[in-house]
Amino acid sequence: MKALIIEKPASITTAPLKMIEREIPKPSANQVLLKISKCGICHTDLHVVEGDLPPVKYPVIPGHQIVGQVLEIGDAVHNLKKSDRAGVAWLHRSCGTCRYCLKNMENLCDAPLFTGYSVDGGFAEYAIADADFTYKLPDGFSDLAAAPLLCAGIIGYRSFKLCRIKEGETLGLYGFGASAHIVLQIANYYNCKVFVFTRSEKHRTLAIELGAAWAGSSEEKPPVELASAIIFAPVGALYINALKALRKGGTVASAGIHMSPVPQFPYELLYHERIMLSVANSTREDARELLHHAVLIPIKTTVEVFPLSEANNALQLLKQGKINGAAVLEIE
Ligand SMILES: [Zn+2]
Ligand SMILES: [Zn+2]
């Protein structure tokens, strides 16, 4: 099969993803083999490629928003059958026995595996996945439209839950990429007023088209105080911008796995019971709830499509903030 691997992390400007030929992997008893149709591109893929995360496995095939067809199933698999359409997300498997797994916090598992980071992912023609962490995808979404739901959607949904927003309140989104364009639709569904902060004129236009109440730069003060905010761009200083815009008792959550250092700031910005938190990974329950919302709302994903061979270029455009909505690799 064709696959893109990253042997040693390097700047995306050096086109470090290399195309290789490799044998199609075999599923074990609890796994399925997927023939991949599409794979979404996420900021985390960029962090894996550029080495912003602690090294776990190199070489590795990145990609954790896999949409494909079940081609083979292991002997112990009962939840999926051959030819099912299925999706694979970032959480490849949790241990099931640590204190977090036992308390419905598998996103914080002490011994997790992550797709496209600690195990090979979806920038390839085939991938294996744990059946218990593979999701049947709802009808009504093309493979292309479904791919960004699998991380951008799921992590965005978890961030929306954790930022303690209530129905009808004001929500700030800092950065407007794949995840934010989905969260905006969820927030609108719950009658929240959404304020979008981004440098990109193109992203502001998309935000307004999708129903944002206001769009401006991250330096600007929104016209009203925010009850909650979510930071999507990997820039620590945005915590401070968000704290300045938050009302008393408000919460700011960061959805990213990696962020530049948060600069010092005066305690008064945090005082009055404002909360800063991070969102780490997601649970299978988050995935199921997001897919449920995708049908209910229904969520419309805006995608830019690239062939597998163009992944380096797509990641570079993502880094430059030039992708409108989500980037997706078309593999078949
Ligand atoms: Zn665990
Ligand atoms: Zn992701």
pLDDT by residue (tens digit) across 191-246? 999 999 999 999 999 999 999 999 999 889 999 999 999 999 999 999 999 999 99
Residue 221 buriedness (CB in 10 A; 0-12 / 13-18 / 19+)? exposed
pLDDT at residue number 219: 87
pLDDT in tens, 101-154: 999 999 999 999 999 999 999 999 999 999 999 999 999 999 999 999 999 999
Of residues 119, 131, 122, 115, the one with CA closest to residue 29: 131
Give distance in angstroms: CA of 115 to centre of ligand 2.
9
Q: N- to C-terminal Cα distance for the chain?
A: 12
Q: pTM of this prediction? A: 0.96
Residues forming CATH 3.90.180.10 domain(s) in the chain:
2-150+282-330
Residues forming CATH 3.40.50.720 domain(s) in the chain:
154-278
**Nearest listed ligand to the Cα of residue 232:** 2
pLDDT in tens, 148-200: 999 999 999 999 999 999 999 999 999 999 999 999 999 999 999 999 999 99
Burial 186-201 (b: 16+ CB within 10 A, else e): bbbeeebbbbbbbebe
Encoded tokens for 37: 């149709």
pLDDT in tens, 278-303: 999 999 999 999 999 999 999 999 99
Token look-up 């598992």 returns 109
Cα separation, 33 vs 280, whole angstroms: 27
Cα separation, 279 vs 230, whole angstroms: 10
Of residues 132, 135, 136, 133, the one with CA closest to residue 76: 132
**Nearest listed ligand to the Cα of residue 179:** 2
- Residue range 2-150+282-330 forms a domain whose CATH class is alpha beta
Q: Taking a C-beta distance cutoff of 8 angstroms, is the pair 88, 133 a contact? A: yes
CATH number of 154-278: 3.40.50.720
Give distance in angstroms: CA of 47 to centre of ligand 2.
10
Q: Taking a C-beta distance cutoff of 8 angstroms, is the pair 49, 66 a contact? A: no
Which residues make beta-bridge pairs with 114? 91
Give distance in angstroms: CA of 207 to centre of ligand 1.
37
**Nearest listed ligand to the Cα of residue 107:** 1
